[in-house]
Amino acid sequence: MSRYAVLVLPFFIVSVISIEPLITNSSGGSIAENFSQEPTAEFLAQNYPVLKDTQNEAKKTEIVKTLITAYSSTVDQTDDTPFITASGSYVRPGIVAANFLPFGATIRIPGIFGNQIFVVEDRLHKKNNDRIDIWMPTEKEALEFGVKISEIEIL
């Protein structure tokens, strides 16, 4: 043991002995004794935060009719990094590009895709502020999708 530990150890022991009476509860038992018992409902209610019940709250969705197109990861349809979205993530199914929604916004297109949820992680050219562009794995799929007008649900 170092000489500092030999000097500090007695002070540590004395401080623990002198503090122990200060950390007792109103019933006279120490806090350490309380933790060995089962927590009561009263103890839990006093020491745990109340969580808001979000399951019963009605989710507010906004419905917007918009033009929907599709794109794929080709340089002629994107910039020079075709597999990286404007938000910095890699393209994958369920990604859409939209200029009028923030990154991370979730949408559904029930008229075309049912309950599938899409996430806005990409942007379109500045001139295309009125549409949503859905990422497709191949150029053929994007061309087959074509141009549609449908209602979207902004979740």
Nearest by Cα to 47 from 29, 65, 60, 34: 34
> By the 8 A CB rule, do 79 and 102 touch?
no
Nearest by Cα to 72 from 82, 81, 84, 85: 82
To the nearest whole number, what is the mean pLDDT of the chain?
76
Domains of the chain: 3-47 (no CATH), 62-154 (2.40.40.10)
pLDDT tens track for 62-110? 899 999 999 988 777 677 777 888 888 888 999 999 999 999 999 999 9
What pLDDT, on a 0 to 100 scale, did the predictor assign at position 82?
Answer: 79
The percentage of the chain sitting over the pLDDT mark of 70, rounded to a whole number, equals 60
